[in-house]
Amino acid sequence: MSKDSGLNSWIAIVSQRLPQRSQPQAKVLAMWSFGIGMMQSTGLTTVAVFLAQLLGEKENTVRQRLREWYRDAKDKKGNQRQQIDVTKCFAPLLAWVVDKWHSTDSQLALGIDATTLGSRFTVLAISVLIRGCAVPVAWKVVTANKPGAWKPYWLELFDHLKHSIPPEMTVIVTADRG
């Protein structure tokens, strides 16, 4: 891997900002996010081809490494594979965004949104709203069209984030429906 590729620097940043991830988990997460950013695509094949060329590795090797990152433990190869608990990333992710906050006031806008993906899933997401963008920092995937309240899920998501915002900041929560 070329030292000027930026990937090594990004791996170091992700490892520092998400210390609860193991070094291999942080490395693959950094590879994923770096590839997505560089290729402007979330497609597994697109990201794997880019990273394989960058790293001088076989495409299938990189593709499998990326797949292993998001699979459940039972679906991974090897004896010591672990399932990723993404909820442990929520607080550090929000703290990272707040740490980089360059606002003259002490207000933080969070948006809550429910996005239904076909008739299969609904993603409940909390995002930081900044400069016309929404940066997701916590999410829960639920079965779509299933009867029941979302309020317990929202409260659980906010509970993960509650210690990530300095007490002097005012938080404004917005929603588009419901």
List per-residue pLDDT tens for the chain, 178 residues long. 554 579 999 999 999 998 888 888 899 999 999 999 999 998 999 999 999 999 999 999 999 999 888 877 777 777 767 778 889 999 999 999 888 876 666 889 999 999 998 889 999 999 999 888 899 999 999 999 888 899 999 999 999 999 998 888 899 999 986 5
Could you give phi then psi for residue 146, rounded to 5 degrees?
-95, 130
Q: What is the pLDDT of residues 141-158, one digit of tens each?
A: 999 988 889 999 999 999
Q: Can you list the domains of the chain with their CATH numbers?
A: 3-75 (no CATH), 87-175 (3.30.720)
Chain position carrying tokens 């990273």: 51
SS3 168: coil
pLDDT tens digits, 161-176: 999 988 888 999 999 8
User: Which two tokens mark 167?
Assistant: 């007490």
SS3 assignment, position 177: coil
Per DSSP, what are the bridge partners of residue 170?
A: 107
pTM of the entire structure? 0.82
Q: Which of 74, 138, 70 is nearest to 110 (CA)?
A: 138
